[in-house]
Structure 1
Amino acid sequence: MEFDLIARHFTRATPGAVLGVGDDCALLAPTPGMQLAVSTDMLLEGRHFSPADSPAGLGHKSLAVNLSDLAAMGATPRWATLAIALPEENDAWLNAFARGFFRMADLHGLELVGGDTSRGTLTISITVMGEVPPGQALRRDGAQTGDDVWVSGMLGSAALALAYRQGRLFMEQIDAAKVLPALYLPMPRIALGEALRGLASSAIDISDGLLGDLGHILKRSRVGATLEFSALPTLPVAQAYLHEAVARDCVLAGGDDYELCFTAPPGRRDAVQAAAAAAGVAVSRIGRITAEPGLNVLDADGQPLPIAHTGYDHFAA
């Protein structure tokens, strides 16, 4: 029975909610004076993950990719709802999925307050809710000419892992083992997003590829950007493969990084570095915002790199 399944795997105490799982609706009381940030993401078997993927890892990743949207807005996680379609009831799979899900939830103080289950192709849809002080949310429309462009963490690792798994890029097995965790166990940059309130002029999380996601900032802010490929942060193991076009494409447009890309005035460089250090996350300055529209990536000689595509297309075949 649906309700027995929910009770066994997804019902826990929710002291931060007025009423959690078990009724027709959850009842929530946001902190007085705070604004709610709300985001929904969907993951489909065969499109976003493989049937062979670990259910615990899938529980982790399905929530992490949603939390990354809150991080991009500088919001503090509070609550989530989970809707999941399953081809059949499988307690062992659900127990592992819930373990990965709640491990990530507990790490960020988030409570599961409702959702739905049904029979069907394995599909996971999560809505997350967070809080942010009025006027302090990080948005996509604030980049200004002359701003620095920054990214957190390392780029391209998850896309390199996927390219290796799909046979599009040969990697030594010992090298592949160093990038595979980025694909299966991404970590949302919640603490960094909170620390960037009042510092970043715009922000977005890198889910579909650096160029495509930065392009959303440029479009909303009505500006352009120039990036330096040599400044893009990658794991040392990845650098051995960047002579191949597919590897460069993974760094520029591969997606699944779940790092933050953000802009800030040059006068705030020290403050940005201090905020990142306080959050325990490395950040790299990779370019600048320009008044001229368009997005250019320069090689070590200052020449434009050819760009095959800018990011993941959710409706591509």
Structure 2
Amino acid sequence: MGEFELIGHYFASAACAQAGDGVALGIGDDCALLDVPAGEQLAVSTDTLVAGVHFPHNPDPCLLAQRALAVSVSDLAAMGATPLGFTLALTLEAANADWLRAFAQGLDQMARACSVSLIGGDTTRGPLSLTLTVFGRTPRGLALTRSGAQVGDLLCVGGCLGDAAGALPLVLGQRSDDSAAAKALLQQYWSPQPQLSLGQALRGNASAALDISDGLLADCGHIAAASRVCLQIELAKVPLSTSLQVFVDAETARNCALSGGDDYVLAFTLPEARLAPLQEQGLSIHVIGKVLAGQGVKLVDAQGQEIIQAKGGYQHFGSSGG
């Protein structure tokens, strides 16, 4: 099967590839065309996932597709954007029909869950890797960024942390477990749900935001650096799921939440007066600290004493550190 036959058979005919809101022209031409209403801006983000680096070799293709798209759409959530479309550049060692069918199914499932359309891409032969570019729209001047945190703001996250890191021994085949807790952690690893509704609700409310991909400490460090402030995290307030606490010991759970990464939960700073109105909307918001004068990230215990955490988070082309 040639490249164009492959695209047409497995991707162009999928439900997620049909033109949706904001997509004037999708798959089938040299470029896609997107409509962005007056008064809005286009948000664009690209992610590359490589076998053996971002996911294990020989993954379930349906789950791989779900994870790859969710990871990319999470960047739109972090900016408070409404999804429009995405492109997929897929590099395959061989065109296996069963693999492609399962991959396309997983991609379509996640795309429809996120209300985002497949609008183009490319396929080529080589070691397995995926590059996705996502497009969204946001009202002009209201996109969430990392650089607006103010002293006195609350530091919040949009849900429990550490589940995906807790699942890694299962993903890598280092541990076998069929318990409900293990299944819940694997679900969070392979099918994270981008917090699009939360991100859009934070427009005009949050002072800074991002999604947690490299670990809470490392990613809070990005907000601290961009905003030129210090983010203080209270360890006891960092939310952990019951599944993680059942599956691993307390110290491991803590390390997963602080430094494990792959959570794709939003971390954001918020003026205190904005907290209650957002919570009244039923949004998942956990206050875990506050913004102080200074620089960097400070982890403290219940008595306010600083805790030194050896590992700060994942970094490409370098060692992890605080």
What TM-score does the superposition give when structure 1 sets the normalisation length? 0.93
Is residue 298–residue 304 contact of structure 1 (8 Å, CA) maintained in 2?
yes
Q: 1:305 and 1:133 mapped to 2: Cα distance?
A: 40
Aligned pairs for 1:15-164 (under 5 A) are: 15-16=20-21, 17-164=23-170
Q: 2:310 and 2:213 mapped to 1: Cα distance?
A: 18
- Aligned to 2:34, the other structure's residue is in SS state coil
Alignment match, 2:250: 243
Is residue 90–residue 124 contact of structure 2 (8 Å, CA) maintained in 1?
yes
* Structure 1 stretch displaced more, 136-145 or 44-53: 44-53
Tell me whether 1:289 sits opposite 2:291 in the alignment: yes
Displacement, 1:19? 1.9
What TM-score does the superposition give when structure 2 sets the normalisation length? 0.91
Is residue 62–residue 107 contact of structure 2 (8 Å, CA) maintained in 1?
yes
Give ranges in structure 2 of 5+ residues lacking alignment. none
Alignment match, 1:8: 9
- Aligned to 1:18, the other structure's residue is in SS state strand
**Residue 315 of structure 1 is aligned with which of 301, 314, 317?**
317
Tell me whether 1:214 sits opposite 2:220 in the alignment: yes
Alignment match, 2:304: 302
Q: 1:3 and 1:171 mapped to 2: Cα distance?
A: 41
Alignment match, 2:205: 199
Kindly provide the CA deviation profile for residues 138-161 of structure 1, in whole angstroms up to 9, marking residues without a partner as x: 110000001000001110000011
Give identity over the alignment, percent.
46
Is residue 83–residue 115 contact of structure 1 (8 Å, CA) maintained in 2?
yes
CA RMSD of aligned residues (A): 1.9
Kindly provide the CA deviation profile for residues 42-73 of structure 1, in whole angstroms up to 9, marking residues without a partner as x: 11111111123211111111110111000000
Displacement, 1:298? 1.4
Displacement, 1:22? 1.4
Is residue 205–residue 260 contact of structure 1 (8 Å, CA) maintained in 2?
yes
Q: Which amino acid aligns with 1:180?
A: L
Displacement, 1:179? 1.5
- Aligned to 1:66, the other structure's residue is in SS state helix
Q: 1:172 and 1:131 mapped to 2: Cα distance?
A: 41
- Aligned to 2:109, the other structure's residue is in SS state helix
Displacement, 1:119? 0.2
Is residue 249–residue 308 contact of structure 1 (8 Å, CA) maintained in 2?
no
Q: 1:167 and 1:205 mapped to 2: Cα distance?
A: 27
Give ranges in structure 1 of 5+ residues lacking alignment. none
